[in-house]
Chains A and B, each alone.
Chain A
Amino acid sequence: MNTADQYLKTIYLIQNQEDGPASTGSIADALDVSPASANEMIGKLEGRGLADHEKYKGVTLSEEGIVRARDALQTYCIIERFLANVLGVEEFRAEARQLEAVIDDTVADRLDTIIDREPECPDCFDAEADACACLEAAFEGAD
């Protein structure tokens, strides 16, 4: 997943949690980058018509941005579910965060053929838990 998609996914999750625009600070915190780096990428996303940045309010994704963010979130869910259910990785959240930048969505699509994902994905993703709500239950049940 490229850097732009990681930003879109993060903005989407914060936007949903806040029920409004995502602040640059919260985006930078979530991605563990400097506010300057976050601002630079937000500017690029705005230039591509994927987001709208209003000073002092925050960032709101465009319709196209939301579609791409949901695709990116789905890719992330595939990686988490693959790590947890196929490879049996207990620290699947931490590892998914480490590996998501290296796993392309075409690769994730292939991994998706051997995992069971709920039809409501990615709406079942719990931003606070940083994991699919359904996956949590499945993983604990497997222990």
Chain B
Amino acid sequence: MSVGNRITSDDQLARLLQIGIVLEEVVEARAYHHYSSLDAELDAAVEDLLEHAAEESADHRRRLEDLIEDLDVESVPFDEIEGLVEARYGRTQPDDFDGVLYDALCNEETAYKFYDDLIEAIEASDAEFSVNREELIATLSAIREEEAEGVEEVTAIMEKR
């Protein structure tokens, strides 16, 4: 067991980026699910929020995939993961969370926490990765910033209601 949050290899980094992709898949799937099934009850601001969340997650996923491609690791089956997340998500109840907005907030906060911890673990590591460390941290920091903005957007809508 390793105590302390450091990443010591390309493989570990790739696995964490892969977990990030799955998280983004979950966010995307949940946002689309809410968007398509509950849109009659939602106002325009919430619809925009969900649409934006799904698009942003898809973009984050692509940026994470690009990072993994640049790492010196065996490729991972993204298509399989995508199908699996969709299949698994379809089995969960839509009322797992208190509401669409609360769910969206939870998504953004969770993603922010994930990227924040990941960046901290990379910065704490003295491992040599096969991708440029500064570019890696810059990409993850930009994604983290978008998640922080997402938290603010959801909170602003919640406060207005």
Contact of A107 among B15, B23, B81, B88 (CB under 8 A): B23
Say which size band chain A's interface belongs to.
20 to 34
Known: A87-B18, A113-B96. A101 touches B5 (CB 8 A): yes
Interface size class of B (residues with CB under 8 A): 20 to 34
**Given known contacts A99-B15, A107-B23, A107-B110, is B117 in contact with A114 (CB within 8 Å)?**
no
- Contacting residues, chain B, for A101 (C-beta < 8 A): 2-6, 121
Q: CB < 8 Å: which of A3, A83, A103 contacts B3? A: A3
Which chain A residue has the least Cβ–Cβ distance from B88?
Answer: A114
Q: Which of A7, A83, A107, A110 has the most CB of B within 10 A?
A: A110
CB-defined contacts of B15 to chain A, threshold 8 Å: 83, 87, 89, 95, 99
Contacts A98-B12, A107-B23; A114 near B114 (Cβ below 8 A) = no
A97 touches B2 (CB 8 A): yes
Q: Evaluate contact between A6 and B7: CB separation under 8 angstroms.
A: no
- Asked if A102 and B113 make an inter-chain contact with CB atoms under 8 angstroms apart, the answer reads no
Establish whether residues B110 and A114, one from each chain, have CB atoms under 8 Å apart when the complex forms: no
Pick from A10, A86, A97 the residue with the most CB of B within 10 Å.
A86
B129 CB within 8 Å of chain A: no
Mark B residues whose CB is within 8 Å of A: 1-8, 12, 15-16, 18-19, 22-23, 26, 76, 81, 84-85, 88-89, 92, 96, 106-107, 109-110, 113-114, 117-118, 121
Given contacts A86-B81, A98-B8, 5 further A-B contacts (CB under 8 A): A86-B22, A87-B15, A101-B3, A107-B110, A114-B92
Footprint of B on A, CB under 8 Å?
Answer: 3, 6-7, 10, 30-33, 37, 82-83, 86-87, 89, 95, 97-104, 106-107, 109-111, 113-115
